[in-house]
Structure 1
Amino acid sequence: MSESNWGRWGTDDERGALNLLTPEVVRAATACVREGRPLSLSLPIRGATSSPAPTTVPHLRGRPLPQHFMSVDAGDYAAGARPIGAGLRMADDAIVVTPHGTTTHMDALCHMWTGDRLYNGHPAGRVRSYGATRCGIDKAGPVVGRGVLFDVPRLRGVRHLAAEDRVSAEDLAACGVEVRPGDIAVVRTGWPLTWQDSPEAYWAGQPGLSAGAGRWLAGRDVAMVACDNAAIGGLNERQLADEDLDDDLHLIFLWRHGIHLAEMLWLEELAATGRTDFLFVAAPLAIEGGTASPINPLAVL
């Protein structure tokens, strides 16, 4: 396995392993559609200003929750809006979302790095408060490919993994899923189910991939990795990763291999189908220079 994908798609590349999603790979992925049934793999976005979101939606402790303001005929939020015509009524929205740690989202390649270089050697100094002019989420484009599900709790015969569990390369291999270059690897830990017990249970740490599992996936040329936990890798009780720089999952995927990440998926309905391959579809918002974007991933069965 190559230690990195830097230079593989040229010195100017900002899409990383998404370059593996060629027209031929996308066309082949459509063969996974056998029922024509789409499933959403997203958690809901519930604004803390308009619902009991702090108790109903999994999120990392201390992260700013989505803010959702509504207006009806300019009576609430959008002061100064003009009527749109006699007899017509209108409602509008204003939404503020911090994607990381609060909702289903996709990480950009500029989200994590070490030293003074982003993925592919782009200067890290191009990431500023006004946005990243290199490797932002707007450079990713839509993701359409063959999704493959690694249902680790099913493999182990448990409802969900324990907070201290780390998914190994051997676990992934034991799931018996064939992995092809350009696949989107979707890993289920079942951890969002702990939110039904209490936020404290969810915040007690999180299971996730080990560094060995990350290298196993990168070595199989996956285009993207998606998981139902909050950080792909595991978290301790302080909601931090314990790995050093060599083994940090974000550095293995985003920085070294240009593999985009999707986090905080909801995979329970997909797991209940027993399907391990499907058409995966997701499109990040074209947020110029963004480090992430909310997404609503779909599994088309």
Structure 2
Amino acid sequence: MTEHTTANGAGTRADNWGRWGDGDERGAANLLTPEAVRTAAGTVREGRVLSLSLPIRGATSSRAPQTVPHLPGRPLPQHFMSVDGADYCAGARRMHGEIGVADDALILSHHGTTTHIDALSHMWRGDTLYNGHPANRVRSYGATRCGIEKAGPIVARGVLFDVAGHLGVPHLDESVRIGADLLRATAQAQDIEMRPGDVAVVRTGWPTVYDTDRARYQAGQPGLTHDGGLWLARHDITAVACDNAGIGALAMDGTFDAGPDEDLHLLLLWKFGIYLVEMVWLEELAATGRHDFLFLAAPLAVEGGTGSAVNPVAVL
């Protein structure tokens, strides 16, 4: 791919291929230099910590997983006890008195079912991953290039684009498409200044629809457009986090309403190496009125993983 930059390396860049070397597999995580992390830590003024994650409710014999927002047709989380606490406790009491212990196991397909981060190996075009790595190395054994373990922890300055709040609604309508103009207007109204290495956090309010109308939630969804994503990417961000299911908008049949040339995952993951954190929970954060904060998200170091469940944290 071809790279175009301004004098300071941002603004008109068409992609990040080759920017950090031909062998790079971390993408925009390279922007998280020690200086950027120290600057991000400077946003902490209160010391208050908020989780931005949806809960994981898994069970083998109940409807508990279905009470959390998710996309249809995806395997729901299964959580069960691998060592039954009651049985073990009974034996332990006979041997040691009042001692109890339990182990558990979790089976999780995180894409579309819970708060997660996409690896750079999650999507590609043709036979090539981000930065020109071969896509034929992504198979059932895992991704030997650009797996989630290459990302490392995301410690960055988070900036909240509360689009729903800017428009004065509890949640956006499913027909709303968040383009560059709407992002600019939100940034101006909420006094947001983007800096290299930031995580752009976009609130639509859409998860709140799930409790009142699950069928509506699982059909179309509001989200970013291609030009909105490109506007963010050209601000040299590390990641985009959004409270909808797929960062980009979904058509009423639940599919992305853009072709390959305007697919938001291909634009951000494949071209720019920008990580996507999907299905975050932003209601408490929005209520604080804060638009800059320390953003923390540490993916599980799953070797060859195309993503990982994650519990993003905002430190105010």
2:172 corresponds to which of 161, 169, 189: 161
Aligned-residue offset at 1:204: 2.3
- Report how many residues are paired: 296
2:224 corresponds to which of 209, 212, 230: 209
CA distance in 2, matches of 1:55, 1:121: 39
Report the counterpart of residue 104 of structure 1 in structure 2: 115
Report the counterpart of residue 297 of structure 2 in structure 1: 282
Q: How do 1:256-275 and structure 2 match up within 5 A?
A: 256-275=271-290
Matched, 1:68 2:85: no
Unaligned runs of at least 5 residues, structure 2: 1-11
- C-alpha root-mean-square deviation of aligned residues, in Å? 1.5
Aligned-residue offset at 1:51: 5.0
CA distance in 2, matches of 1:255, 1:83: 53
Q: How do 1:49-128 and structure 2 match up within 5 A?
A: 49=60, 52-70=63-81, 71-73=83-85, 75=87, 86-87=96-97, 88-128=99-139
CA distance in 1, matches of 2:66, 2:73: 13
CA distance in 2, matches of 1:89, 1:15: 43
CA distance in 2, matches of 1:116, 1:61: 28
Give the aligned residue type for 2:37. Answer: V
TM-score by structure 1 length?
Answer: 0.95
CA distance in 2, matches of 1:128, 1:101: 20
CA distance in 2, matches of 1:294, 1:256: 23
CA-to-partner distance for each residue in 1:96-145, whole Å, 9 max, x for gaps?
A: 00010000000000000010100000000110101000000011100001
CA distance in 1, matches of 2:148, 2:61: 28
2:43 corresponds to which of 32, 36, 45: 32
User: Are the counterparts in 2 of residues 165 and 207 from structure 1 also a CA contact under 8 Å?
Assistant: yes
Report the counterpart of residue 151 of structure 1 in structure 2: 162
Aligned-residue offset at 1:239: 1.3
Residue 32 to residue 51, structure 1, CA distance change in 2 (3 Å)? farther
SS at match of 1:144: strand
Report the counterpart of residue 241 of structure 1 in structure 2: 256
CA distance in 2, matches of 1:203, 1:122: 34
Q: How do 1:184-203 and structure 2 match up within 5 A?
A: 184-203=199-218
CA distance in 2, matches of 1:46, 1:220: 36
SS at match of 2:96: coil
Matched, 1:220 2:235: yes
TM-score by structure 2 length?
Answer: 0.91
CA-to-partner distance for each residue in 1:251-284, whole Å, 9 max, x for gaps?
A: 0000000001000000000000000000000100
CA-to-partner distance for each residue in 1:54-100, whole Å, 9 max, x for gaps?
A: 44100001110000012324849xxxxx9695232111101000010
Unaligned runs of at least 5 residues, structure 1: 77-81
2:147 corresponds to which of 136, 143, 151: 136
State the identity as a percent.
64
SS at match of 1:32: coil
SS at match of 1:185: strand
Residue 68 to residue 226, structure 1, CA distance change in 2 (3 Å)? same
Aligned-residue offset at 1:50: 6.0
User: Are the counterparts in 2 of residues 109 and 258 from structure 1 also a CA contact under 8 Å?
Assistant: yes
Q: Which runs of 4+ in 1 moved over 3 A?
A: 73-76, 82-85
User: Are the counterparts in 1 of residues 65 and 77 from structure 2 also a CA contact under 8 Å?
Assistant: no
SS at match of 2:296: strand
User: Are the counterparts in 1 of residues 58 and 65 from structure 2 also a CA contact under 8 Å?
Assistant: no
CA distance in 1, matches of 2:61, 2:274: 35
CA distance in 2, matches of 1:136, 1:179: 28
Residue 37 to residue 50, structure 1, CA distance change in 2 (3 Å)? farther
User: Are the counterparts in 2 of residues 73 and 83 from structure 1 also a CA contact under 8 Å?
Assistant: no
CA distance in 2, matches of 1:246, 1:3: 13
1:254 corresponds to which of 269, 273, 279: 269
